[in-house]
């Protein structure tokens, strides 16, 4: 198995397409292989994996910190995934890019430190998986309101389902 790595509009945000093997029995995909990623100059030591499940129209994020690399993919369903540059010293500060991640395409997004990310569930149900390079540290976590006018992100929903935490984040 192998991966194809594509650059995005942001340096170090990468769009990754793993090889998928399908036959009459079903599908097989290797979602992470250290050697494969190193061959593509992705030398990150991931220390934890997290999984979340959500229903249609749930919007999670935008969350970030300045230390953690995240490797994101959708294990089941379909999500609208957004990455936003939150590095104040960056020429692309407050710019964003979206991706469609599904259990059919198995695409991944590598999100570097300093980039916020959020996702909206487009299918009836979603299983969202992310590998992270750091252990959770609530003192270094930051959030930006999903509809902050400074970011002006297009979300294909008018009334998303939000957590109390995501509802109470202030605008920039």
Write out the catalytic residue numbers: 63, 130
Q: Is the dihedral of CA 153, 106, 70, 8 positive or negative?
A: negative
Cis-peptide into 79, omega within 30 deg: no
Nearest CA-CA partner of 51 in 60, 38, 62, 41: 60
What residues contact 86, with CB distance under 8 A and at least 6 apart?
64, 93, 94, 114, 115, 116, 142, 144
Region of 165 on the Ramachandran plot (φ > 0 left; ψ -120 to 50 alpha; else beta): alpha
Beta bridge partners of 79: 101, 121
Lookup: tokens for 122: 């487009």
Number of neighbouring beta carbons within 10 Å of residue 30: 14
């Amino acid at each position: 198995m192998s991966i194809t790595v594509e650059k995005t509009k942001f340096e170090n945000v990468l769009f990754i397409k793993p090889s998928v093997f399908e036959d009459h029995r079903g599908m097989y995909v290797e979602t992470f292989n250290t050697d494969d990623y190193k061959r593509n100059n992705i030398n990150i030591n991931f220390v934890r994996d997290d999984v979340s499940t959500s229903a249609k129209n749930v919007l999670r994020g935008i969350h970030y910190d300045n230390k953690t690399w995240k490797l994101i993919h959708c294990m089941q369903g379909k999500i609208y995934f957004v990455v936003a540059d939150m590095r104040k010293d960056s020429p692309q500060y407050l710019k964003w890019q979206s991706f469609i991640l599904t259990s059919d395409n198995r695409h991944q997004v590598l999100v570097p430190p300093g980039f916020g990310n959020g996702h909206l569930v487009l299918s009836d149900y979603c299983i969202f998986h992310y590998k992270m390079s750091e252990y959770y540290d609530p003192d270094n976590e930051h959030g930006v309101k999903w509809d902050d006018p400074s970011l002006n992100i297009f979300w294909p929903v008018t009334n998303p389902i939000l957590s109390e935490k995501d509802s109470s984040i202030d605008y920039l």
